[in-house]
Structure formats: structure tokens, C-alpha cells
Amino acid sequence: MSSTLTTQRTTEHSPAQATLTGTGRLLRTMIRRDRVRTTAWVVGLGLLGFYFAHAIQVIAEDTSELVSLTVMFADPVGRMMVGPGYGMDAPTHERFFAAGYVLFLYLLCALMSIFTVVRHTRADEQAGRSDLVRATVVGRHAPLTAALILTVLANLAVGVLVFGGAVSAGYAFTGSMLVAAGGVATGVFFGGLGAVTAQLASSSRSASGFAGAVLGLAYVVRMAGDMAAPGGSSLSWFSPLAWAQQTAPYVVDRAWPLLPLVGGGVLLAACGFVLSTRRDVGSGILPTRLGRSSAHSFLGTPWGMAYRTLRGGLRGWGIALVLTAAMYGSFTQTMVDAGDDLPAEFSQIFAGQDMIAGYVAYMSLFLAVFVAAAGVNAMGHLRGEELSGRAELGVSTSMGRGMWLVAHLCVIVAGVFSMLVMIGLVMAATAVATMATPVDGLFTDAMVASVHQFPAVLAVLGVVAAFFGWLPRFAMPIGWLLVGCAGALSAFGPLLELPDAVLSLNVFGHLAGFPVEDITGTPVVALTAVGTLGIVLGLAGWRQRDIHNV
């Protein structure tokens, strides 16, 4: 009896095939589920590649302009940010494209791959969807195989679009091929990494976080390696993120650095398959970490509760913005060096004769718009607390609904304020540290310029809070609209010569452009009043309306 059963099985499927049964059908389902998300990633990356390839030709029309811009990528700080800087001694548009911009494409390819693999493996398992799938005629390795195929397909699509973008800009065939292939290979490598971390961690957050941490480490190692010498140093070779740019497109045009990327990706994916057989469905190889069994007494206060609820999001934004501030600050000397040769458009954006003051004013404004975005995002978290029913659970204690909102708003306001302070400090410190000759008052100016943006951020939060109290459905759209207007009008407003009515939609545009202009009291007072009034109104509305959980 048992022997007939065995023969029957082997005639139907060999065991190796059986573990892959259903891969094709799963892949089709995944493509259908991802038809918006992955398409958006692919098209977005393709457009970005197209934009990078063509924008350089607009920014710098001839070689002399190009040479003046190469400082941004050729000196150590520039190499730290964008890559090894091949061919910057004799820059052309295509070399400038490959040296200055493609690293961002590669970073995004890596992220897309990690997210795609984890979303279709660990996230499905965590949500229990994979139990449903595995209960049907589907082999053990089918979901991971399908997820990896989808990831490779998405990366190939990005590669085709990027190649098309580069060739359409008139760049050399081989180099453009290498730029595109570098993205695909990087995507394959980090997709393989995602396949491993999805087996290790038991939550999709940890799986993505773990792979993201490796990506971050690779970026930092590459920073140090590429900074050390033009063309990168031996340290660069320890970072998979650096390998793709070592093909030196349009300069040396060598393909072999892509081999370790693809080989590494295949090896990692193989590890993922092996690890997946060593664990149960739904569990991870690494044990889940246990936390505290009882709470710190601070958590049992409205402030503690609000702090723990909002901490994660605010901290994430804060870290990203402080790192950006460090980057911008360390570029100050480079900007001064390039200042005299920069095209007119640049000096117009930086709004001043004094290059440093203009640069500091613009960067504080730009970062403060992102701080406002962090604040609006936190307000969205509040709305999420309401819709999920957690606000209801909190309000059912004796803290009261007014206290609930006051505590959460205080945490958000304190959060954005400390972000502005931290950004100011870090931007000031890095600017002062990298200046060749000390500049009087630079530290204080940079510090004050950042904190001076607080009334505008508060005003945005106030408007969102007012809507949260009275028309909660509109709170988030209005908030993002304000941030979007502020971002777009701050960046392009001065260039477009728009009417004042349109420009006044930019909350941040009302403040003086310190340190280019002197701080004026009226907008500071007015914006603070708008913010405070909005919060008071929002509280009044929240006190009188139903708390929804749908």
C-alpha cells in the first residue's frame, strides 16, 4: 500500500518540483495585488532616472559650467554623499550623471526589493494570509520563489526605463547599459537579503528593519570608503552598495563588479530557502524579544501614554532630518567655493549676495517644511488612534477626552520644536567645522535660522488641530496640502514670479529669510497666534464631538 502511494507521488511530481508547485499562479496573484504599488515604484524610479539624465544638460549647458559644478561631487564631502566620482577630472554630462545621481536610484532599488520580498513573504505570514495560501496546492518554496521572481521582474523593468532615459539623453550605449544593470544587480542583492531577513524575524517590521539596517551599514561603509580616495578605496569594496558604481560607467566601462552583486543575491536567496525549511510557518529563526512585564510609572500618565504612542514616528523623522542637516551643513564650504561660478538660477534660489547667509536661510526653510511634514504625520497618527479604537480605550479611563488631546498635542509640539533645535545645532556645528576660514556668528545664525521657523510649523499644526476637532475627515488632506504648498512654493516660488495671493499660501513664506533679512516681529506673532488659536479651537471641537471608531 505504501509503496504504491510513493510511486504515485513520484510519477506526479518529483519532490524538488513539488516544493515549487503553484509558483506561477502565486506570481500572477502577487502581480495583481501589486499592480498599483510596484507599478508606482517602477514608473517613479524610471522617471527619476530620466529626470537625472536630462536635468544635468539643462543645469549646465557647456563644459565650463559642468567643471564648476563637479566640485560638488569630486571633493571628499561630495564623494561621501554620492559615490566614488569616476571621471570628474574630465567631466561630461554622462559622467556627471553616473557619478552624481545614480547612487540614489540604486538605494531606491534596494529599498523596493527589500519591501517587495518582505511584503509577500513575512508580512503575509504575519497576517495569516499565507496559511490560507499554503492550505491549497502550493509547494513550500513557492511563495518565496514567486516573491523573488516578482522582485527581479520589477528591477528589470526599472533597468529598462533607466537605460531608455540615459540613451534618450544621448549617452553612450555601454555606459548606460552598466548604469541600468547596476540598479538591477543592486536590487537582486538586496532582494536576496530580504529573503534571508524574512526567515529570521517573525514580524515584517523587524524583517524590513533588519534588512534596512544592513543597507544603512552598507551606505555608511561606502561613505567612508569613497571619501578616502577618488574612485573609492579598499574599504569601499566591503559595501555591496558601492560595487555597482565601481563599473565606472562612461569612464572605464567594466562589468565584472556586478558579478559579486548578482552572485551574492543568488547566494543570499539560497540561504533564505534553506533557512525557511528550518522553521515553522509563522515563526522566525530568531526568538521574539520579550519586553517589560510591567510599566514604568511615567507610562501611566497621559503624557507618558502620548509620548510612547508618538515616539516612534517622531524619532524616525527626527533622525532622518538631523542626518540631512549634517549633510547640508557640511556642504557649506563647498557652496562657498562653487558660489562664484554657480549659474544664476542657483543664487536666485539662495536669495542673497552673501552666499553663506543665503545658503543657511534656504536650508533652514527647507528642513523646517519637512519638520512640519513630521508634525502633520504625527497628527495623522492621532487620527489613526481614534479610528482604531485606541483613543476610545484611553478616554474611557479617568484622564478625560480633553486631557487626551492636550497630552498628545503637547508631545507633537515639543517634538517638532526639539527637531528644529537639533537641526539648527547640527547644521551649525557641521557648517562651522567644515569652514576653511571661520565666519563670525555662523553658529548662532544657523541655530537661530532653524528655531525661527517654529511659528510657521506651529501654524500648520494649529490648522490641522482645528480640523481634527471639527471636521476630522479633512484634517489630513488639509495638513498635507499646506506642507505641499510650502515645499513647492519655497523651492520654485521665487523662480516663477507668482502673484502674491498664491505665494501667501506658503505658511513659511511669511517669515523673514533670516539671516539674509532681519527677523520681523509681526509674522512671528501672527503665525504663533494662528497656531495657538487653531489648537484651542480644535480642543473645543474635540470636546463636543462623538469619538468615532469607524
Partner 1 sequence: MMSGTTPVIFTHDLMKSFGRVQALDGLNFNVEAGEIHGFLGPNGAGKSTTIRILLGLLRSDGGTVKVCGQDPWRDAVSLHKRLAYVPGDVELWPNLTGGETIDMMLQLRGQYNQRRRDTLIERFDLDPRKKNRTYSKGNRQKVALVAALASHVDLLLLDEPTAGLDPLMEVVFQEVIREEQREGRSVLLSSHILAQVEALSDQISIIRHGKIVESGTLSDLRHMTRTTVVVETDHPADSLATLPGVHNLRVEVSKTTFDVDGDTVPHLMPKLTSLGVRSLVAHPPTLEQLLMRHYGTATDGITAAGAGTSPSGNAPEQRQDTP
Q: Which residues bind partner 1 (CB under 8 A)?
A: 202-203, 205, 288, 290-297, 299-302, 304-305, 308-309, 312, 388-390, 392-401, 403, 544, 546-547
CB of 379 to partner 1, least distance (A): 17
Determine contact, residues 48/180, Cβ cutoff 8 Å: no
Determine contact, residues 435/333, Cβ cutoff 8 Å: yes
DSSP codes joined into one string, 54-72 = HHHHHH--SHHHHHHHHHH
Closest C-alpha to 273, from 112, 136, 186, 147: 147
Q: Based on CB atoms, which residue is closest to partner 1, 33 or 545?
A: 545
3-state secondary structure 342-357: CCHHHHHHCCCCCHHH
C-alpha cell at 273: 530557502
CB of 215 to partner 1, least distance (A): 23
Q: Based on CB atoms, which residue is closest to partner 1, 295 or 495?
A: 295
Q: Based on CB atoms, which residue is closest to partner 1, 72 or 201?
A: 201
DSSP codes joined into one string, 358-402 = HHHHHHHHHHHHHHHHHHHHHHHHHHHHHHHTHHHHHHTSTT-HH
CB of 541 to partner 1, least distance (A): 13
DSSP codes joined into one string, 266-324 = HHHHHHHHHHHTTS-TT--SSPPPP--SS--GGGGSHHHHHHHHHHHHHHHHHHHHHHH
* Torsion of Cα atoms, 268 then 271 then 273 then 278, to 10°: -150
CB of 205 to partner 1, least distance (A): 8
Closest C-alpha to 216, from 323, 98, 289: 323
CB of 131 to partner 1, least distance (A): 13
Determine contact, residues 459/483, Cβ cutoff 8 Å: no
Q: Based on CB atoms, which residue is closest to partner 1, 282 or 484?
A: 282
Q: Based on CB atoms, which residue is closest to partner 1, 35 or 543?
A: 543
Determine contact, residues 482/463, Cβ cutoff 8 Å: yes
CB of 477 to partner 1, least distance (A): 21
CB of 386 to partner 1, least distance (A): 10
State which amino acid sits at residue 264. G
CB of 405 to partner 1, least distance (A): 13
CB of 387 to partner 1, least distance (A): 9
C-alpha separations of 277 from 102, 270, 321 in Å: 37, 11, 41
Q: Based on CB atoms, which residue is closest to partner 1, 202 or 450?
A: 202
- Using CB atoms within 10 A of its CB, is residue 260 exposed (0-12), middle (13-18) or buried (19+)? middle
Q: Based on CB atoms, which residue is closest to partner 1, 309 or 333?
A: 309
Q: Based on CB atoms, which residue is closest to partner 1, 28 or 315?
A: 315
Q: Based on CB atoms, which residue is closest to partner 1, 151 or 202?
A: 202
